[in-house]
Chain A
Amino acid sequence: MSTTVQTQTPSAETSEPPVRRKRKGGGAGSAALTLFTWLLALGFFMPVLWMVLTSFKQEADAASNPPKFFFTPTLDQYKAVFEAGAGGYLWNSVIATVVSTILVILLAIPAAYAVSIRPVEKTKDVLFFFISTKMLPVVAVIMPIYVVAGKLKVLDNIWTLVFLYTAMNLPLAVWMMRSFFQEVPREVLEAAQMDGASLMTTMRVVLIPMVAPGIASTALICVIFAWNEFFFALNLTAADAATVPIMLVSTMTSEGLYLARLSAASVLASLPVVLAGWIAQKQLVRGLSMGAIK
């Protein structure tokens, strides 16, 4: 059971044989394959590139046929998005995402401890219970949530979203944290307990620092899903608690086809998660597989 995150390291360490393997294909074939890969990647990325380009256009350039690849870039659309009140939506999204992620981590750490290091009986059943709630279609619970939230007067309240996003990401986080806890050598924890450290101290001083990278990648996954969530936001918020995805929808419906402005709003909406994902590519794999793939 290795602790290192291994993605490319094996080939880097045993550098000789893979290099020889590649030479076999011949220089021309290899170059052609590289070119093919690049073209494929650019084609696949094209919609994103197009969105970014469009966001720097004037509306007239955006809705042109044939499409304009060269134009005078402008920041007008970004200005317009902020003038239309993007700040409020962004703030709501930040609250819903950050607070729910913190809550998820606080709840998931002890729970993961109880299904890995000092496991309760029927650990597997507990784990399957958690993941089975991920399979519960949200649409099957939205009606009671809507009705109850209405009775409690918490419709269009950002804390309702915080609560729901916590519930949405918690099962995932328990699974992920468990996989990180399982990599902590038992001897270290036993040694701490021998020295008379209490459970809380062991957790705080020994365990948490050791799994800090794991906590970071769990948080990353929670942030991605909370930031992008649309269904709850659509049904449970209106003017006050609306988040960024709602901003996009209202840009689309209220402004008609203002393509460039919509693109600018889309770029702004996607940017935080895209940047986070780019930076933490390796953690992404483990998070998406709920900790199963290291």
Chain B
Amino acid sequence: MSTSTGAARTGRPRKSRAQAPRRSDAWQRRLPLLPALIFTIVATQIPFLITIWYSLRSWNLLNPASDVFVGLSNYIEIFADRTFRQVAMNSVIYTLGCVLIAMVLGILFALLLDRKFLGRGVVRTLLITPFLIMPVAASTLWSVSMFNPTFGLVNWFLGIFGIPAVDWTSSHPVVSILIALVWQWTPFMMLLILAGLQSQPKDVLEAAQMDGASSLQTFFFITLPHLRRYIELSVLLGAIYVVNTFDQIYLMTAGGPGTSSANLPYYIYQRAFLGFDIGQAAAMGVVVVIATIIIANFALRLIFKGFMSTEQN
């Protein structure tokens, strides 16, 4: 960024003179940042450090005497834990599945909304509503009103086409949760993609049309490349939230049957608050954090680079 006016005004013939105002200037700049920075560090980094400490101990809440230093043995146990691998896989399925399906639907909805028609505002309002419904309410809505085997709306609807009733949340727990997740996250994708569509330069689209491009060609060669960074951004932001999914699993299946529909956050919660095994749960938390940071930091820098560089001109 540009050098500050303060430093520029006080000439700098000698080093010692120039550095004093520079340093105080730097602190003046930092000062407004400090409250938020310190607050965030205290609230997020310190607990995480304590989690690392817990992860090196064998501590069961029900047995205070168990609190001893065990080194890395919690970590070794995790990697031998079949269930951990299975719920990690579920986490990937939920996150990728939800983000990708919601993105495809979101693009479809956004394209439908990107034209003038009667009641467009109402339709958009209807379509964003699932995102605004409290996730706990949406979860109970899906698990009870929609997926209930006897009076649920889904089975009734399928029954019209002669499809026999299914006990959704017990026979297809992962699919059920995925449906509820996609329903909530599609509007998120739609809104971001719609903003991308509406930021398209109209003259380019017209030029393409003049040149005789079909609407399908226009979509694949002009619209989609333009949308690319919007898609990347929405996928990343959506994934940050979806990977932490808890409410739907807690309320729709409680991770069951067994642990078949649990994801990492739910499994760790189970180990900590139902199994009282703090050491193990903490070690899993640390593993999840490290994995998330590696994946997300890489993606983040890549994606926000585009938006930040255009902002700064």
Contacts and interface: CB of A to CB of B under 8 A. Distances in A.
Contact of A273 (B134, B202, B296): B134
B284 to A, nearest CB: 8
A133 B300 CA distance: 13
Interface stretch (B25-33, B75-83, B169-177): B25-33
Nearest to B61: A147
A293 B289 contact: no
Interface string B86-116: 0000000000000000000000010011011
A66 B46 CA distance: 54
Contacts of B313: 1
Interface string A91-127: 0000000000000000110110111001111011010
B278 to A, nearest CB: 5
Given A48-B130, A121-B26, A136-B48, A284 B191 contact: yes
B198 interface: yes
Interface stretch (A5-13, A76-84, A209-217): A5-13
Contact of A293 (B192, B246, B297): B192
B50 interface: yes
B195 A139 contact: no
B33 A137 contact: no
B167 interface: no
**Interface magnitude class on chain B:** 35 or more
Contacts of B31: 114
Contacts of B123: 37-38, 41
A47 B118 CA distance: 23
Interface string A44-70: 111110110010000000111111000
A137 B243 contact: yes
Contact of B35 (A6, A107, A134): A107
Nearest to B243: A137
B60 to A, nearest CB: 12
B117 A44 contact: no
A133 to B, nearest CB: 5
A134 B43 CA distance: 12
A266 interface: yes
A140 B251 contact: no
Contact of B268 (A140, A259, A263): A140
Given A266-B137, A285-B192, A128 B272 contact: no
Interface string B236-277: 010010011011001100000000000011001100110000
Interface in B39-84: 39-40, 43-48, 50-51, 54
Contacts, number: 308
Contact of A118 (B4, B44, B151): B4
Given A140-B48, A270-B134, A114 B109 contact: no
Given A14-B202, A132-B296, A114 B268 contact: no
Contact of B39 (A140, A145, A167, A281): A167
Nearest to A290: B237
A174 B33 CA distance: 10
B129 A274 contact: yes
Given A11-B202, A110-B32, A50 B136 contact: no
B285 A139 contact: yes
A235 B311 CA distance: 40
A50 B153 contact: yes
A261 B107 CA distance: 36
A274 B150 contact: no
B145 A137 contact: no
Nearest 4 pairs between A and B by C-beta?
A: A140-B285, A110-B32, A167-B43, A111-B36
Interface of A: 1, 6-8, 10-11, 14, 17-19, 21-22, 30, 33-34, 36-38, 40-42, 44-48, 50-51, 54, 62-67, 107-108, 110-111, 113-115, 118-121, 123-124, 126, 128-145, 147-148, 163-164, 166-167, 170-171, 174, 179, 182, 224, 227-228, 230-231, 234-235, 244-245, 248-249, 252, 257, 259, 262-263, 265-267, 269-270, 273-274, 276-278, 281, 284-285, 288-290, 292-294
Interface of B: 1, 4, 26, 28-33, 35-37, 39-40, 43-48, 50-51, 54, 109, 112-113, 115-119, 123-138, 140-142, 144-146, 150-151, 153, 156, 183, 186, 188, 191-192, 194-196, 198-199, 202, 205-206, 209, 230, 233-234, 237, 240, 243-244, 246-247, 250-251, 264-265, 268-269, 272-273, 278, 281-282, 285-286, 288-289, 292-293, 296-297, 300-301, 304, 307-308, 311-313
